[in-house]
A = this chain, B = another copy of it.
Amino acid sequence: MTKNKIQYSEDIVPYSRDELIEKVRRKMSNKRFQHVLRVEDMSLILARKNNESLEKASIAALVHDYGKERPNEDYIELIKDQYLDANLLKYGNAIWHGLLGSYFIKKELQITDEEILQAVRVHTTGAAEMSRLDCILYVADYVEVGRQFSEVDKAREIAMNNLDEAVSFETEQTLLYLIQKKALVYPKTLETYNAWVAK
Question: What are 25 inter-chain pairs, A to B, with CB distance below 8 A?
Answer: A172-B179, A172-B182, A175-B179, A176-B176, A176-B179, A176-B180, A179-B179, A179-B193, A179-B197, A182-B197, A182-B198, A182-B199, A183-B198, A183-B199, A184-B194, A184-B198, A184-B199, A185-B190, A185-B193, A185-B194, A185-B198, A187-B187, A187-B190, A187-B191, A190-B190
**CA of A33 to CA of B191, assembled, Å:** 35
Residues in B neighbouring A180, C-beta threshold 8 A: 176
Interface size on A, residues (CB 8 A): 17
A83 to chain B, nearest CB (A): 23
Q: In whole angstroms, what is the CA distance A50 to B185 when docked? A: 30
A34 to chain B, nearest CB (A): 30
Considering the complex, which residues of chain A in the window 104-140 have a beta carbon less than 8 Å from any beta carbon of chain B? none
A15 to chain B, nearest CB (A): 41
Question: Once the chains are docked, how many angstroms separate the CA of A191 from the CA of B175?
Answer: 14
Which residues of B sit under 8 angstroms from A172, Cβ to Cβ? 179, 182
In the complex, the chain B residue whose C-beta lies closest to that of A184 is B198
A179 and B190 CA atoms in complex are apart in Å by 10
Q: Which of A167-189 contact B (CB under 8 A)?
A: 172, 175-176, 179-180, 182-185, 187
Give bound CA distance, A187 to B189, whole Å.
10
Provide the bound-state CA to CA distance between A193 and B183, in Å.
9
Set of chain B residues within 8 Å of A187, measured between Cβ atoms: 187, 190-191
